[in-house]
Chain A
Amino acid sequence: MPRCDATHTPPREGAVRIPSGCAISGIMDKSGARHDGTDILKSIALMHDRSNGLGGGFAAYGIYPEYKELYAFHIMYENQEARKATEAYLDAHFMCEKQERIPTEPVRSIVNPPDIWRYFLGPHPVKLSMSGQDEAEYTMLHVFHINAVIPGAFVASSGKNMGAFKGVGYPEDIGSFYRIADYQAWLWTAHGRFPTNTPGWWGGAHPFTLLNWSVVHNGEISSYDTNRRYVEQYDYECTLQTDTEVITYLFDLLARRHGFSQEMAAHIMTAPAWDKIDAMEPSRAAFETALRNVYSSALINGPMSVLLGSDEGLLALNDRLKLRALMVGEKGSMVYLASEQAAIEVVCPDIENVRSIDGGVPFVVQLDEVAARKAQESAENTFCDLCRPAQLVGVVPQASKKAESMRATGGQRADAKWAEGGQNHA
C-alpha cells in the first residue's frame, strides 16, 4: 500500500470522524407480511454511484419469528480471541438459547471479512434483577461494554426479531455476501456509503443499530458535537463518531427513555423555527417553546435524510431546511422510500403517490396493528430509566494507595472485580 510515512497507519473510524455521502432505501409492508431481500437489493444497487465501495448494509425486521422473544445479537469478530472473550462475557450476563455462524457466501469484491456470529439470548434473570435496570437498559449497557472494551469484537445489531447485515463493500455485494435474499422481513432498509476516508473496519458500516432501532442516514450533521455531548450525559457512548450513531441514541433517549412517540421524537430533533412558533396560537406556542427549550441540544442541524427502523415500523425524516433528497411512494400495503425516485420505480414500476418528504416533517409508517394499538393508548409520555444507572461507588480511590501496599493487597484484582460488576463504568 503506498504510504509516505510507513509508521503512520490511517486511523480507523471511531478514532476520527469521517464525513460521508450516501444512498438510502427502505421497503415496508404495513400489513406485516414478509418479503425476501431481492427488492431492497435491487433498489440500493440502482444507486451504485451514490456509494464508493467503502460501506454497505441492510437492516431487516421480522426475520427471526421463531426467536422473537429473545435478543438477536449479530457480532463481528476480528479473531478467535475476540470471540472467546465475548462469549465468556455473554455467558456471564445472558442466557443464550442458540448461537451460530451467520451463513455467508464468498463474493469476489469482499476480501478478508470478519467472522460473524449470531446469538439468541435473554438477560441473565438474577443479574438483571440485581442491576436495578429494565431489560432493555441492561442489554444496551452490555452491548456498549462489548463494543467499547473487548478488542476485535463489535455488536452489529442487538434487537429482537431483527438484524443488521453490513460491511465494507458496495451494498449489493454485501447483500450477496450475507445472502439476504434468503431472509423474509416486513421491513427492509439499506445503506450505501460514500465515506471520504477508509473506515478501516466493518463495524463502522451502516445501518447503525441499538436494541430494536436501526438507522440509515444520508448527510453530515453540523450539530454533531452538541448532540454527542448531550447524549453522553446519559451514558450513551459515541464510540464511532458517526452521525448515525448519535441520531440513534437521540431516538433511544427521547422515544424509549422519555417515552415520546417516534414522531414526537423526530419533531423535537427538527423543531419548528421560532418565527413559526411565534405565529402559533398561545397554547400551541407554549408547547413548542417548552419542547425546544428542554430539548435544545437534541435539535439536529445540517443536511440529513434518515430512515429509522423499529418494531413499530418506519420513520423518515429530513432536516429542517430540506438539504437532502428523500422520496416516498406507496402501492397497496407497501411503502417505498429512497434517496432517488428511480430506486423506487425499479422495484415497483406502477408506484402511486410518489412525492418528496418535506423538511422537518416526520413521515411515519406504522404496522397496521401498531397503528391500531397506538390509537387506543394515552397520548401522554411515560418516562422510563430517567435516573441514570448509579455511579459505581468504591471504598477508596486506588490513586490514594501507595504503590507498595497496592501490590501487597492485590489492588489490581479489586479493580477487576468492580469491572465485572457489570456496570461498565470501569
Chain B
Amino acid sequence: MLDYLLPRYKVLREDDLCVKCGVCERSCANDVHTLDEEMDAFLIDHKKCVNCQRCVVMCPTGALAITNWPQVGNGSNNWTLAAMQEIAKQSQTGGVLLTSMGNPKPFPIYWDHLLLNASQVTNPSIDPLREPMETRVFLGARPEALKVNEREHLVKTPMPPQIKLDVPVMFSAMSFGSISLNAQKSLAMAAQELGTYFNTGEGGLHKDLERFGAHAVVQVASGRFGVDTHYLNAGAMIEIKIGQGAKPGIGGHLPGEKINAEVSRTRMIPEGTDAISPAPHHDIYSIEDLRQLIFSLKEACRYQKPVAVKIAAVHNVAAIASGMVRAGADVVVLDGFRGGTGAAPTRIRDNVGIPIELALAAVDRRLREESIRSQASLVVAGTIRSSADIVKAVALGADAVYCASGPLIALGCHQCQDCASGKCNWGIATQRPELTKRLNPEIGAQRVINLVKAWNHEVQEMMGGMGINAIDSLKGNRLMLRGVGLNEKELDILGVKHAGE
C-alpha cells in the first residue's frame, strides 16, 4: 500500500555551519540523520523526525533547526491537513490513534483568564526577603476540632497521619517502565532535597529508590503492579489511582518490549510480557467498594499513612469527590484533561474530561457545602505550568499541586509527544540503556531542584504582594482572583469576580 503519510517536521541543516562531526547522527534514536560517506553529506529522513530537538541542542555549531513540514492544506477549517493525515494513518493501519503527553487542542486555559491581586495603600505588601514567607503544607485528613490541654500544651485528639510538604508541589505519578530509572531517581533525589514527594506510578518501587521512601507516594492502580505489604509501607503516602486526566475511563498498556529485567522485578511480572492495567479496578465497581480498598490499605499500613485517591476530572467530579471523602480518602487528587501521559489514545486524550480549574473550583465548593472540606486535602494536577498556576490553584482551593510535565521538561523533555515509541532521545521515556544513560540523575535532580526552588521564590513573591505570609491564608482565598474574558457561568463556577468588580 502506498503510504499517504507526510512528514510532520522538516529538519533544516545549514551546510555552512555543519562540521560533519556526527553528533546529530549519534543523538537520534529515530535515525533521522545518516552520514553518507561517499557523498560526504548528511541524508535526512524527515519523516522519522519527532521534533524532540535533541540534535538541535547537541549540535556544537548550531547548524540544525526543525520546522513544520511546509505542505499546506486546502484551506478548509474542517478538513485540515492534520485531520486528513490522521485518516491516512488509520486507513493504513486499522488501529486506534496513539499519542503521548497532554491535550494540545485549543481549549480554554482558565489559568490564563485569572489574575492575582496585590496590596496597595490600605494594607502593605510583604517582602519575602525581609519577612518569613511560609509555603509549608500538610496533606491528609484533619479532625474538625482539636481537644487540647492548654496549660500543659498537649494534644488530646489523636492526629491522623499526614505528610509534610515544604513546597506546595509534588511530582505526579510516572511509573518505572513508562520512564527510566534515571528519570525516576532524578525526581526522587529532587523530592528529598526539596522536602516534597515523587510518585511511583503503578510500576512498583525499584529497590534502588527505597532509600527515598520517605519522599515517595506509592501508587496502587488497577494492574496492582509491584504491590505488596512491603511496598505499601515503603512510601510516605499511598495513592489509589482510579483515573488519569489524559485518559479518563481507560486503563494502560506497557508493551512487553519495555519490560526488561529491572522493570519485570519491580513490577513483579514476567520479563517481556505486556503490563496491562484494566480500565476499572476489578474490585471497585462502586463507591462502597472504594471504601473497602481504602481501608484495606489503611489496615496494611496500620493506619500510619494517609491514603489518597486520584481521579480524572470528569463531568460529575464534585459529587464523586464528595463520595470519595465519605469513603475515607484522606487526600483527593484531581487530574485535569490537559494532564500528560506516556501513552493514550488520541481521541480520548483530546475529547474526554474537563478542565482542572473548573473541576477544582466545583469540588472545593461542594466539599465546603457538605462541610467535609477539612476532612480531606485536595491536590490538583494537569498542566501546572508555572508558579502562577500554583498560586491560582491554591487560591481556588487546592492544598497543593502535582506536576509532572514541568519537571520532565527540566530533565530535557521537549514535549514531542512520542513517549510511547520508547525511543526518547533524552533518556526519560525509554528503557534502552544507550538512551537512559544520557540522563545523569545528579544533574537531572539539580535541574528539577532549581526549577522548583525558582517557582517557590515566585510563589513567595506573589503571596507577599497580596499581603499574605503563609500559604494557609491563600488556600481558597478566591477574593485574590479576578477573571478576565470569562462569561457569567464560568465566573460562577470558578467562584471569582470579574476584573473591575
Contact = CB atoms under 8 A, between A and B. Distances in A.
B476 A226 contact: yes
A73 interface: no
A232 interface: yes
B371 interface: yes
Interface in A220-234: 220-227, 229-230, 232-234
Interface in B104-148: 119, 122-124, 126, 131-132, 134, 136, 138, 142-148
Given A222-B466, A225-B477, A293 B150 contact: no
Interface string B362-373: 000000100101
A297 interface: yes
A17 to B, nearest CB: 7
Contact of A219 (B123, B159, B474): B123
A395 interface: no
B346 to A, nearest CB: 39
A230 B476 CA distance: 9
Contact of B472 (A17, A297, A379): A297
A287 B475 CA distance: 22
A107 interface: no
A261 interface: yes
A222 B475 CA distance: 12
Contacts of B131: 321
A207 to B, nearest CB: 20
A366 to B, nearest CB: 14
Contact of B148 (A219, A227, A287, A300): A287
A181 interface: no
Interface stretch (A2-10, A75-83, A119-127, A380-388): A380-388
Nearest to B140: A293
A386 B145 contact: yes
A149 interface: no
B434 interface: no
A234 B145 contact: no
Q: At the interface, is chain B mostly helix, strand, loop or mixed? A: loop
B165 to A, nearest CB: 12
A301 B470 contact: yes
B154 interface: yes
Contacts of B374: 233, 294, 297
A258 B145 contact: yes
A222 B132 contact: no
B215 interface: no
Given A225-B478, A225-B479, A321-B131, A303 B150 contact: no
B373 A302 contact: no
Contacts of B469: 301, 320-321
B351 interface: no
A379 B142 contact: no
A219 B119 CA distance: 12
Nearest to B370: A233
B452 to A, nearest CB: 18
Interface residues of B, number: 46
Interface in B150-195: 150-157, 159, 162
A234 B371 contact: yes
Contacts of A223: 468, 472-473, 477
B76 interface: no
A283 interface: yes
A299 B131 CA distance: 17
B52 interface: no
A273 interface: yes
Nearest to B154: A287
A21 B159 contact: no
A379 B467 CA distance: 35
Contacts of B162: 293
Q: What class of interface size applies to chain A in its complex with B? A: 35 or more
B479 A17 contact: yes
A386 B476 contact: no
A34 B143 CA distance: 42
Given A295-B146, A383-B147, A21 B122 contact: yes
Given A287-B148, A293-B138, A302 B467 contact: yes
Interface string A375-404: 000011101001010000000000000000
Contacts of B475: 226, 296-297
Contacts of B156: 380
B371 A301 contact: no
Given A229-B368, A293-B142, A303-B123, A222 B152 contact: no
A27 B411 CA distance: 63
Nearest to B132: A273
Contacts of A299: 470, 472-473
A196 interface: yes
A20 B132 CA distance: 26
Given A219-B123, A283-B153, A320-B469, A226 B142 contact: no
B318 interface: no
Interface in B295-316: none
Given A19-B122, A224-B479, A234-B371, A294 B146 contact: yes
B488 to A, nearest CB: 17
Given A223-B473, A297-B475, A302-B123, A286 B149 contact: no
B480 interface: yes
A379 B479 contact: no
A221 B134 CA distance: 17
Interface string B457-501: 000000000111110111111111000000000000000000000
A264 B150 contact: yes
Contacts of A302: 123, 467-468, 473
A213 interface: no
Nearest to B126: A321
B144 A290 contact: no
Given A222-B468, A383-B147, A273 B474 contact: no
A260 interface: yes
Nearest to A295: B146
Nearest to A194: B122
Contacts of B467: 220, 222, 301-303
A288 B154 CA distance: 9
Contact of A296 (B124, B154, B159, B472): B472
A275 interface: yes
A381 B123 contact: no
A291 B148 CA distance: 9
A263 B151 CA distance: 11
4 pairs of A and B residues whose beta carbons are closest in the complex = A223-B473, A225-B479, A379-B151, A222-B467
Given A273-B132, A303-B467, 18 more contacts: A219-B123, A222-B468, A224-B477, A225-B478, A225-B479, A229-B478, A230-B476, A234-B371, A260-B148, A290-B148, A291-B146, A293-B162, A294-B145, A294-B146, A297-B476, A302-B123, A303-B123, A320-B469
7 contacts: A226-B473, A287-B155, A294-B145, A296-B472, A303-B123, A386-B145, A388-B371
Interface of B: 119, 122-124, 126, 131-132, 134, 136, 138, 142-157, 159, 162, 368, 371, 373-374, 466-470, 472-480
